Homo-oligomer: A and B are copies of this chain.
Amino acid sequence: MELLEQLCGIHAPSGNEAAMKEFILEYVSKEKKHWIVQPEIFSGEQFQDCIVLVFGKKPRTAIFAHMDSIGFTVKYGNEIVKIGGPKTQTGYKLTGSDSKGPIECEMDAPEGSKKSFYTFEREIERGTDLVFKCDFRQSKEYIQSCYMDNRLGCWNALKVAETLEEGIICFSTYEEVGGGSVGFLGKFIYEKYGIQQALISDITWITKGVKDGKGVVISMRDRGIPRRIYINQIIHLADQSGIDYQLEVEDAGGSDGLQLQAAPYPFDWCFIGAAEDNVHTPDEKVHRHDIDCMVKLYQYLMKHL
């Protein structure tokens, strides 16, 4: 889990994903010689801070994993405002940096107030973005850290890459703030490769119907409603695979799937990922078995879908 620990510690809130892009590009360039198929790598200004990896000659399915995390932006005075939907709590440790140097400060979220603040030895420059300080914890059964959502989704994609023969992996940006890169990524893979099938490699929630340790989650819907015919096909394959999985039905929450559905290309999408406890806090916790099943199901689906 060394790779996952590294990913969880990278500073990359929505809009500022450059460090994740650099890390993944370097990782791919170093590791790909061990992979079964050498992917074609697309990045650069036409892709903003996104990365597209194309494996094989006839990819049929694309994995989307968003690189950005939730976080905070320093506003005026010592107020901070949210990037996406992080939980707030007095005492949470936040990190970042401005022109005066590195920052490690604490959150102050007064009871009954909707505003949050930082406490630090000096003023932080306006517009500086802060993220949860990473405290990566492993036990026999669980892995716990900030930003399992969605560094674990990225990690899953990189694991699947090792044995992937035909398929595409898109590392996207801005997901936690409603998207903005999935449109042009979708355009690229639809127009160049005719891709219409997508899997959203992301992390979902432990709920009344989704338990930790019971396998990877296939989401039948959240706020977005994917095409049933595609979901049924995936559930059918999951049954064949013998891998532990759980079905999710929610009416809230969204993902890059919503952005794909809104884009002017006929994409089918399905959210598949492990579920976490302590959502959007520094303590997101995922069961190892669910992670294991996530990788295996992606491997199976990328072959058979």
Residues of A at the B interface (CB closer than 8 Å) are 14-16, 18, 45-49, 73-77, 81-83, 126-127, 129, 173-174, 177-181, 183-184, 186-187, 196, 207-209, 220-221, 224-229, 231, 247, 249-251, 261-266, 268
Query: A192 CB to closest chain B CB, in angstroms?
Result: 14
Q: Which of B45, B77, B231, B262 contacts A266 (CB 8 A)?
A: B45
How far, in angstroms, from A74 to B247 measured CA to CA in the complex? Answer: 11
B174 touching A261 by the CB < 8 A rule?
Answer: yes
Query: A5 CB to closest chain B CB, in angstroms?
Result: 24
B183 touching A221 by the CB < 8 A rule?
Answer: no
| Sample of 7 more A-B contacts, CB < 8 Å, known A15-B221, A15-B228 | A45-B266, A46-B196, A48-B227, A49-B227, A76-B249, A77-B208, A127-B231
Residues of B within 8 A of A129 (CB): 228
Q: Which residue of B lies closest to A50 (CB)?
A: B266
20 CB < 8 A contacts A-B: A15-B221, A45-B196, A45-B266, A46-B266, A47-B266, A48-B266, A48-B268, A49-B229, A73-B220, A73-B221, A73-B251, A75-B209, A75-B250, A81-B250, A174-B225, A179-B261, A183-B262, A183-B264, A184-B265, A264-B265
Q: Which of B14, B75, B227 contacts A249 (CB 8 A)?
A: B75
B127 touching A249 by the CB < 8 A rule?
Answer: yes
How far, in angstroms, from A229 to B22 measured CA to CA in the complex? Answer: 13
How far, in angstroms, from A271 to B251 measured CA to CA in the complex? Answer: 28
Query: A68 CB to closest chain B CB, in angstroms?
Result: 9
B183 touching A126 by the CB < 8 A rule?
Answer: no
Across the A-B interface, give the 3 residue pairs with the lowest CB-CB distance, nearest first: A76-B209, A183-B264, A127-B220
Also in contact, A18 and B229, with CB within 8 A (given A184-B265, A220-B73, A264-B263): yes
A249 touching B81 by the CB < 8 A rule?
Answer: yes
B183 touching A247 by the CB < 8 A rule?
Answer: no
How far, in angstroms, from A83 to B226 measured CA to CA in the complex? Answer: 12
Q: Which residue of B lies closest to A173 (CB)?
A: B227
Q: Which of B14, B177, B227 contacts A15 (CB 8 A)?
A: B227
Residues of B within 8 A of A76 (CB): 207-209, 249
How far, in angstroms, from A87 to B75 measured CA to CA in the complex? Answer: 26
Residues of B within 8 A of A127 (CB): 220-221, 231, 247, 249
How far, in angstroms, from A49 to B228 measured CA to CA in the complex? Answer: 10
Query: A14 CB to closest chain B CB, in angstroms?
Result: 5
Q: Which of B18, B47, B229, B247 contacts A228 (CB 8 A)?
A: B18
B209 touching A16 by the CB < 8 A rule?
Answer: no
Query: A163 CB to closest chain B CB, in angstroms?
Result: 27
How far, in angstroms, from A18 to B250 measured CA to CA in the complex? Answer: 22
A264 touching B187 by the CB < 8 A rule?
Answer: yes
Residues of B within 8 A of A247 (CB): 126-127
